[in-house]
Chain A
Amino acid sequence: MTMTTLRPVPVTVPTVEARGARRRDALNWVAVHSLAIAAALLFLLPFVFLFLTSVMSDRQALTTDLWPASWHWDNYVKVWETPGFLTWWRNTLLYAAAGTALTLLSSIPVAYALAKFRFRGRNLALMAVISMMMLPPQVTVIPMYLIWAKQFHLTGSLWPLIIPLAFGDAFSIFLLRQFLLTIPNDYLEAARIDGCGELRILLRIVLPMAKPAIAAVALFQFFYCWNDYFGPQIYASENPAAWTLSYGLESFKGAHHTNWNLTMAATLLVMAPVIVLFFFAQKAFIEGVTLTGVKG
């Protein structure tokens, strides 16, 4: 791309140098943007194919045709009216909303203590949080299932997934702590000297400053619950009235195994809320991802 050398050129002919640099910049611009467009096409094509298939007729969806011969928008109505679909929405929304609210309520104080209190065993507690965060859910699922089934008789519902979130979520605690570390201690000290209690400091000073991190955690938790397949498969699969979209979508495919058009319409309907929510909260979301990975 860069044909011109970078060796210092005598300043006697500045126009030539400037023209060379400008040409190099223009070439660079074209190269970068062509590559970006090509990559963007690859990332978008799956969505385009899904959409085109979702409005095909039953028969055309079984062919290799890429473009719909006629546009069957009513496929979306058919999906929506499939028995169970509305229930799955309601359950997913309940799981995601209640799960997110409980996660925030229980994780914020823990993250605050881990970031701002000095106490013996703090590093140990933090390592425990990280270990929980990295633990595959399958490691503990069997004893957990037995407890929920035999002690509490709550399997066949989403409660075994929601209730634990009232006791802190390791990933959320970790992410919030990472952010709270960046709040200067001077603010808190000043408030303490003024006789402010820790709870009030948390509510009045820390929370308003931590809004972006809280928004990111809320979004992550919402998406986690929305996308969760393993949890509902374990705890809710025995009772169709408790299925979520992720679990139901799979059985939807089973019930309509030849209807790729309806399956793709359903698939897009499940993806849609996630994508819409992302457009509303893009900034919070990207800040959150950055926080997990970079500000270690």
Chain B
Amino acid sequence: MALSSTTAPAALKRKRRRGALRTLAFLSPWLIGFGFFFAYPLLSTVYFSFMRYDGFTAPTFTGLKNWNYVLDKYPFFWQGLGNTLWLVVVMVSLRVIFGLGIGLLVTKIKTGLGFFRTVFYLPFLAPPVAATIAFAFLLNPGTGPVNHLLGTVGLPQPGWFTDPDWSKPALTMLALWGIGDLMVIFTAALLDVSREQYEAAELDGAGPWQRFRYVTLPNITPIVLFAVVTGVIQTMQYYTQAIVAGKVASGKVGGSGEPFEPGYPHGSTWTLPQMVYNLGFQRFDIGSACVIAVILFAISMAFTSLLLRRRSGFLQED
């Protein structure tokens, strides 16, 4: 009796310890990765944001100087933040609306569904560099087919990637072409809405718009929210398309000749990630580059926490 009451917890403890070791073993690759490729560099980035550092000579502490420089004297920070805000508002909302529209259309298609779905999905897979160069060609004001067609029907022919007023709309068109991921997500969500709800609404005399407004929309709200928040986070990272479009449109690709002017034309395509690259890897002002990186991190994590809070399903138990 006394013996068993002392051995049982010991056995339990041993079992627990074995369980913990097993968990640790399974998690170990990621634990190492988290430390080396996330926690350590993240802390270093914060640390460097307070240092004067060119990557060669030893870093020296400068307090808030880099912060002051980026927020107050660096000529592009606010412009880049403004561009990002523009892209978040226009690109993200249009992508969600357009993705939902195509998703709705796909659920109604009865003939050739596989064909249409493939066509809407494929551009999403196109490598961003290839897609951007392709659009720089299509939207080339001189030789591109798009302006040729616009001219044929008597519409104005914008300069697209070469005009600061049109460069962001041109990037938005490129983003809308790659709507395939949202199309798939919305289609799946729309097919999950129960038929009974539609039938009940129809019996109550609801027209197509009312059915969409009072049955479809409330049912897919979580997915819309997911698409918006992940869209915002993706837009905070917007880099490849912006930099490649600027390079190709300005004709300064490949590093030969004059240096590329980032944000071409007239800073209209500057984004925060490009500033990290430009300041850190081209101007060797690592301190200021890290200030931008920290700001980028803060904004991204704010939106991530929004996603975590609103979609508790992310953390669901089993």
Chain B interface mostly helix, strand, loop or mixed?
Answer: helix
Closest partner residue, chain A, to B229 (CB atom): A134
Q: Which residues of B contact A119 (CB under 8 A)?
A: 19-20, 23
What residues of chain B lie closer than 8 Å to A239, measured between beta carbons?
none
Inter-chain contact B248/A253, CB cutoff 8 Å: yes
6 intermolecular pairs with C-beta atoms under 8 Å apart:
A106-B29, A113-B26, A227-B128, A229-B127, A250-B129, A263-B137
Of the candidates A61, A127, A131, A138, the one whose C-beta lies within 8 Å of that of B143 is A61
Residues of A within 8 A of B129 (CB): 227, 229, 246-247, 249-250, 270
Among residues of B, the one whose C-beta sits closest to the C-beta of A246 is B129
A168 CB contacts on chain B under 8 angstroms: 29-30, 33-34
Per DSSP, are chain A's interface residues mostly helix, strand or loop, or mixed?
A: helix
Q: Is the CB of A49 within 8 A of B138?
A: yes
Q: Could you tell me which B residues sit within 8 Å of A by CB distance? A: 19-20, 22-23, 26-27, 29-30, 32-34, 36-38, 40-42, 44-45, 48, 55, 102, 105, 108-112, 115-123, 125-131, 133-135, 137-138, 140, 143-145, 147-148, 177, 181, 184-185, 188-189, 192, 202, 205, 207-208, 222-223, 226-227, 233, 236-237, 239-240, 244, 247-248, 251-256, 272-273, 276-277, 280-281, 286, 289-290, 293-294, 296-297, 300-301, 303-304, 307-308, 311, 313-316, 318
A267: contacting residue among B133, B145, B148, B289, CB under 8 A: B133
Q: 5 closest pairs, A vs B, by CB?
A: A254-B254, A167-B33, A254-B253, A293-B185, A168-B30
B244's closest neighbor in chain A, by CB? A250
- Interchain CB contact under 8 A, B22 and A270: no
Instruction: Tell whether, in the assembled complex, residue A251 and residue B255 are in contact, meaning their CB atoms are under 8 Å apart.
Output: yes
A43, B177: Cβ atoms closer than 8 Å? yes
Q: Which residues of A contact B301 (CB under 8 A)?
A: 131, 134-135
> Hey, which chain A residues are within 8 Å of B122, CB to CB?
43, 47, 275, 278
Judging by beta carbons under 8 Å apart, are B134 and A144 in contact?
no
Q: Give complex CA distance A144, B161 in Å.
A: 33
Cβ–Cβ contact B143 & A63, under 8 A: yes
Cβ of A293 and Cβ of B226 under 8 Å apart? yes
Binding site for B on A (CB under 8 A): 1-2, 6-7, 28-29, 32-33, 35-36, 39-40, 43-44, 46-47, 49-50, 53, 61-64, 66, 106-107, 109-110, 112-115, 117, 119, 123, 125-132, 134-147, 164, 166-168, 173, 181, 185, 198, 223, 226-227, 229-230, 233-234, 245-247, 249-255, 257, 260, 263-264, 267, 270-271, 274-275, 278-279, 282, 286, 289-290, 292-294, 296
Q: Cα distance A43–B118 when bound, in Å?
A: 10
| A256→B256 CA distance, assembly (Å) | 12
Please determine whether B143 and A139 come into contact, CB atoms closer than 8 angstroms: no
Q: Taking A113-B26, A278-B122, A296-B314 as contacts, is the C-beta distance between A138 and B138 under 8 angstroms?
A: no
Distance, CA A47 to CA B298, complexed state (A): 39
Q: Which residues of B contact A279 (CB under 8 A)?
A: 118
Please state if A139 and B34 are interface contacts (CB–CB under 8 Å): no
**Residue of A at shortest CB range from B16?**
A119
Shortest A35–chain B CB gap in Å is 6
**Bound form: Cα–Cα A126–B27 in Å:** 11
- Docked CA distance A275–B222 (Å): 31
Whether B137 lies near A136 (C-beta < 8 A) is no
- What residues on B are CB-neighbors of A66 within 8 Å? 145, 148
Residue on A with the closest CB to B125? Answer: A274
Asked whether A234 lies within 8 Å of B313 as measured between CB atoms, the reply is no
Contact of B37 with A140 in the complex, beta carbons under 8 Å: yes
